[in-house]
Homo-oligomer: A and B are copies of this chain.
Amino acid sequence: MAKVLIAQGGGPTAVINQSMVGAVLESRKFNNVELVYGAFHGVRGIVDEEFLDLTQETTHNLEMVANTPSSALGSTRDKPDLKYCQEIFKVLQAHEINYFFYIGGNDSSDTVRIVSEEARKANYPLRSVHIPKTIDNDLVENDHTPGFPSAARFVAQAFIGANLDNNALPGIYLAVVMGRHAGFLTAASALGKKFPDDGPHLIYLPERVFDVDKFLADVKATMDRYGRCVIAVSEGIHDADGVPIAVKLAKDVEKDAHGNVQLSGTGALADMLCDEIRTKLGVKRVRGDTFGYVQRSFIGCVSDVDQREAREVGEKAVQYAMWGDSDGSVVIDRTGFYSVDYRLAPLELVAGKTKVMPDEFISESGTDVTDAFRLYLRPLLGSGMPDAYRLRQNLVSKVLGG
């Protein structure tokens, strides 16, 4: 009889519980599976031996949890090194775990890679499979990653509203979107455009160097043309030397355990860019928002395509481990317009690597996306996307004025 352990790592997404529930329910279908455990707070819960018995969980409640955003098992920002992974492996052995599924981004896939390696060296019968998840959409090999489509939908919907708001009360509106190295989520703001003069009029991605003077010139040109300006900015924008713009201006820089600078959970970047516009361009009505945590955890704004795929990568992980008897990382391939298929890639191919937006998705100006990106993203947003409408401009002749 076999034991299964499932854990969730990194930042929560709107559909990460779909993957967890997919893996739990699929595992429970296999006759040789006796127990299905969940680790509290990712790898931290494994080394602390904090496990939930998910075998006792009702299918009904699992389905309810699947539709709930954020990691139901809890998560962690711990990034295990070799020693940490050896601790993990020790606990897996002690609890006689045979199947280890870890849902997470590229840091998590690296953990799975090391644990898999440790088990192989110890000749211990363990199958370890990484299940992809990240709103940043920055996993290599994958066409896209579960969690990204729902976050992208939130960003697109937020910009539809922001553009309408800015159209009603003209001025400059700027919003900072998550994405440290990859601009996919910021670029999703472009999917909020419908009419030709709709915003976001300018999109700044970490894939391009950010120059403050160029930025101000772009904003001024947009104001001259439309009398208003809506701007999407990635939290990861940086100068030619790779220094994040947020860091250049923040006095106190907090770093997380991965050595990464804290870019989320502060409105500093938006406020600083707004200040630049106010002082240098002399525009009065400048407003800056930072979408922050809302964009990855908001309940009630989810892509049904994302839900379905997140469920399936969880199910496929179990099938690859049990039928295929292989370790690896589950990967999403796009096969049509719009259809996908799954495969298991070697962990070394995915672990610790970062994908960024390809050049063909970014316009020549560097401040917009291409139709290729629209074609790429639109099907991921799912069904029932809300749509904005306008009054037609049937003008009335003036009586008094010129």
Q: Which residues of A are at the interface with B, using a C-beta cutoff of 8 A? A: 8, 11-12, 37-38, 41, 48-54, 56-57, 61-62, 64-65, 67-77, 90-91, 94-95, 157-158, 160-162, 164-165, 167-170, 173, 175, 252, 254, 264-268, 270-271, 274-275, 284, 286-294, 296-301, 385-396, 398-401
A74 CB to closest chain B CB (Å) equals: 5
Report if A297-B11 is in contact (Cβ < 8 Å); known contacts: A49-B401, A52-B394.
Answer: no
Question: Which residue of the partner chain B has the closest CB to A62?
Answer: B391
B54 and A391 form a contact (CB under 8 A): yes
Question: Which residue of the partner chain B has the closest CB to A95?
Answer: B399
Report if A293-B298 is in contact (Cβ < 8 Å); known contacts: A72-B390, A271-B267.
Answer: no
A289 and B290 form a contact (CB under 8 A): yes
Which of B52, B75, B388 makes the CB contact (< 8 A) with A393?
B52
Question: Which residue of the partner chain B has the closest CB to A393?
Answer: B52
Which of B37, B72, B73, B161 makes the CB contact (< 8 A) with A298?
B161
Question: Which residue of the partner chain B has the closest CB to A73?
Answer: B391
Cα A71 to Cα B169 with chains together (Å) = 9
Question: Which residue of the partner chain B has the closest CB to A5?
Answer: B396
Cα A399 to Cα B75 with chains together (Å) = 22
This protein's copies in its complex: 2
A125 CB to closest chain B CB (Å) equals: 18
Cα A51 to Cα B391 with chains together (Å) = 12
Which of B56, B286, B400 makes the CB contact (< 8 A) with A94?
B400
Q: Which residues of B contact A61 (CB under 8 A)?
A: 389, 391-392
B287 and A168 form a contact (CB under 8 A): no
Interface centre among A69, A90, A157, A161 (most CB of B within 10 A): A161
Q: Which residues of B contact A70 (CB under 8 A)?
A: 161, 164-165, 167-168
Q: Which residues of B contact A158 (CB under 8 A)?
A: 294, 298
A40 CB to closest chain B CB (Å) equals: 9
Question: Which residue of the partner chain B has the closest CB to A172?
Answer: B265
Cα A296 to Cα B57 with chains together (Å) = 39
B265 and A290 form a contact (CB under 8 A): no
B289 and A167 form a contact (CB under 8 A): no
Question: Which residue of the partner chain B has the closest CB to A284?
Answer: B254
Which of B38, B284, B400 makes the CB contact (< 8 A) with A91?
B400
Q: Which residues of B contact A74 (CB under 8 A)?
A: 167-170
Question: Which residue of the partner chain B has the closest CB to A270?
Answer: B267
Top 9 A-B pairs, shortest CB-CB distance? A267-B267, A265-B287, A289-B292, A70-B164, A161-B297, A64-B389, A51-B396, A165-B297, A300-B386
Q: Which residues of B contact A76 (CB under 8 A)?
A: 169
